[in-house]
């Protein structure tokens, strides 16, 4: 997986400089410049990669806004891929909020206006019957991971149509930066089935088809054609569904998970990172998972995904499924999910308990007295001062997860969570927040971002050649991630490890996931003597290779 350059068929001259996977810019040596027809096409100075990183960082840091920084990094990625990943890997805590959440949300909203050069494959509703041909246009033939979106529920921002391509591009950049999956194995795909966003339909610079969303059979037929074509052209590919709306996410996962190698990151990845956070939080509070009462604000794919994985964890620890579900309560847009309601879908019905109906979150908190609240509703400021003060009355160390992305959609800020609980909250958020000082003590909020989970899961799946992705893999990933949280992290209030350790963490998760695949008979490749060592040996490192 490390070295995938065919030196026998290298382009030369300007063509080489225009290939981001091969271009080294000013780092081409004197010998390479002579052999590859580059003399005169580059300034005479030969730079080291470290010097190029210095120049890139200088330019990056002088950009006045995060969106401008995003545009700069996107430009670097399409000019010099190796340098892009060197910069990102060496400065991951600075770069991740730019190339992914929260900045990617704004980038998607303005995608058509900042568009420079296409990345990935765009498949529109008008391409029915031609999807396989479109996928064959992709230059890399060994694709192992596809991240695909239809753009209907981009983060907490809603329907962004074809502009949602920023999400697969960003996710796959994290696959490489966080888990060492070689860039040529990654393919971002946007399924453009239209948009119901009026602003986009009226925007002359919108990059997608300007029609309302295709629904029903026509939609399902396009998804089926895409899945079938992807399996045909890239036989060992893992397909990650990303940012589909609730009406499609659960049913597509159920339809395809037993047939192909696939998972839905919003359902399963979010669940895994949240469960890891709960395990770590309990090391601070001293409780056990089986005694927690968790109240979810939001009963969509993220919330229900977390609930389902919590139940799986409790069943694995010896509880019955019925008893395990009693600790999970949900609030949707209409109020508390209870048995007396007649408007609940099957996914919510399994969590409908006997209780009076309560229309608002504060009354539910006051009545249920939960030990943990988890926000996945995509609406900001829903964890009000009254809610957080109530949580602090009931609990010595209330668990508060505000997981909605981007930052503008977080249910509360880190400052609010710590300030309104007198520093007693055990807090995590989906997007990063700065440290907060309360009563002389500084708390470092943990970031419960899926980037801790999906890169490692994907790396484990493709390293062992897993034919399916199972719930057990996400349960094991959660436990592996929680194990990486140190006592020093916990003393700072951090319930996820620092992002700077993400490559080592992803390797551990990948090894654990591969072990599950081997144990379940799902791995196509023979088991190495040391799974973790083999995983690490396969991780891509962005260093220039000699071409002569």
Residues known to be catalytic: 100, 171
Residue 44 to residue 59: CA distance in whole angstroms: 21
Q: Which residues contact 3 (CB under 8 A, 6 or more apart)?
A: 545
Q: What share of the chain is helix, strand, coil (3-state, %, to 5)?
A: 50, 10, 40
- The burial class, CB within 10 Å (0-12 / 13-18 / 19+), for 139 is exposed
Residue 518 CB-density burial (10 A; 0-12 exposed, 13-18 middle, 19+ buried): middle
Instruction: Classify residue 117 as exposed, middle or buried by CB count within 10 Å of its CB (0-12, 13-18, 19+).
Output: exposed
333-359 b/e (C-beta count within 10 Å ≥ 16 → b): eebbbbeeeeebeebbebbbeeeeebe
Q: Is 367 helix (H, G, I), strand (E, B) or coil?
A: helix
CB of 463 within 8 A of CB of 510?
Answer: yes
Q: Find, among 306, 248, 252, 247, the residue nearest to 279 by Cα.
A: 306
Give the number of other CB atoms < 10 A from CB of residue 506: 32
Q: What is the CA radius of gyration of the chain?
A: 23
40 class by beta-carbon count within 10 Å (0-12 exposed, 13-18 middle, 19+ buried): exposed
Task: Give the rounded distance of the alpha carbon of 188 from its chain centre.
Answer: 13
Q: Find the angle CA(303)-CA(264)-CA(432) to the nearest 5 degrees.
A: 60
- Name all contacts of 5-9 with Cβ < 8 Å and 24+ positions apart: 5/545, 7/547
Strand boundaries in 310-435, DSSP class E: 328-332, 335-336, 372-375, 399-402, 426-429
Question: Rounded to 5 degrees, what angle do the CA atoms 14, 19, 20 make?
Answer: 130
Q: Return d(Cα 341, Cα 379) in angstroms, integer.
A: 23
Backbone angles phi, psi at 332, to 5 degrees: -105, -165
Residues 6+ apart with CB under 8 A from 145: 172, 175, 181, 185, 186, 187, 237, 238, 240, 458, 462
Return the closest-CA partner of residue 84 out of 174, 219, 190, 188. Answer: 174
- What is the residue-wise DSSP string for 92-160? HHHHHHHHSTTHHHHHHHTHHHH--S--SEEEEGGGTT-HHHHHHTSS-S---EEEEE-SSS-TTS---
């Amino acid at each position: 997986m490390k070295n995938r350059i065919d030196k026998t068929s290298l382009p030369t001259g300007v063509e080489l400089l225009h290939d981001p996977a091969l271009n080294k810019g000013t780092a081409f040596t004197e010998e390479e410049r002579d052999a590859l027809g580059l003399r005169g096409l580059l300034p005479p100075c030969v730079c080291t990669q470290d010097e190029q990183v210095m120049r890139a960082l200088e330019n990056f840091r002088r950009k006045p806004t995060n969106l401008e920084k995003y545009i700069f990094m996107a430009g670097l990625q399409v000019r010099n891929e190796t340098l892009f990943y060197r910069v990102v890997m060496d400065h991951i805590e600075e770069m991740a909020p730019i190339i992914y959440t929260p900045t990617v949300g704004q980038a998607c909203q303005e995608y058509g206006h900042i568009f420079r050069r296409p990345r990935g494959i765009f498949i529109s509703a008008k391409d029915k019957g031609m999807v396989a041909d479109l996928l064959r246009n992709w230059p890399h033939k060994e694709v192992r991971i596809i991240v695909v979106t239809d753009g209907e529920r981009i983060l907490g921002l809603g329907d962004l149509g074809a502009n949602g391509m920023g999400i697969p591009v960003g996710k796959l950049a994290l696959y490489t930066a966080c888990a060492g999956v070689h860039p040529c194995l990654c393919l971002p795909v946007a399924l453009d089935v239209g948009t119901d966003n009026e602003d986009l339909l009226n925007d002359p610079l919108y990059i997608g088809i300007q029609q309302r969303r295709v629904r029903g059979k026509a939609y399902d037929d396009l998804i089926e054609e895409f899945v079938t074509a992807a399996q045909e052209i890239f036989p060992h590919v893992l397909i990650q569904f990303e940012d589909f709306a609730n009406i499609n996410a659960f049913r597509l996962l159920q339809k395809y998970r037993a047939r192909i190698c696939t998972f839905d990151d919003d359902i399963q990845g979010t669940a895994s990172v949240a469960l890891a956070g709960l395990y770590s939080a309990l090391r601070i509070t001293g409780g056990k998972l089986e005694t927690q009462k968790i109240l979810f604000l939001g009963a969509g794919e993220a919330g229900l995904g977390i609930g389902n994985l919590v139940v799986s964890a409790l069943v694995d620890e010896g509880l019955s499924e019925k008893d395990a579900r009693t600790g999970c309560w949900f609030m949707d847009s209409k109020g508390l999910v209870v048995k007396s309601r007649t408007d609940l879908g099957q996914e919510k019905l399994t969590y409908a308990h006997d209780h009076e109906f309560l229309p608002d979150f504060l009354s539910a908190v006051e009545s249920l007295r939960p030990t943990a609240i988890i926000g996945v509703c995509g609406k900001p400021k829903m964890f009000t001062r009254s809610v957080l003060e109530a949580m602090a009355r009931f609990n010595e160390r209330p668990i508060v997860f505000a997981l909605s992305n981007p930052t503008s959609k977080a249910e509360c800020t880190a400052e609010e969570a710590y300030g309104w609980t007198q520093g007693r909250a055990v807090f995590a958020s989906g997007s990063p927040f700065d440290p907060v000082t309360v009563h002389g003590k500084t708390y470092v909020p943990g970031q419960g971002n899926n980037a801790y989970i999906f890169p490692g899961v994907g790396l484990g799946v493709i390293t062992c050649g897993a034919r399916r992705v199972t719930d057990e893999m996400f349960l094991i990933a959660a436990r592996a991630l929680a194990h990486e949280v140190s006592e020093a992290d916990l003393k700072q209030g951090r319930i996820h490890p620092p992002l700077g350790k993400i490559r080592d963490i992803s390797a551990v998760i990948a090894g654990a996931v591969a072990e599950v695949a081997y144990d379940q008979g799902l791995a196509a490749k023979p088991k190495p003597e040391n799974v973790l060592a083999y995983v690490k040996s396969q991780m891509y490192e962005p260093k220039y290779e000699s071409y002569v």
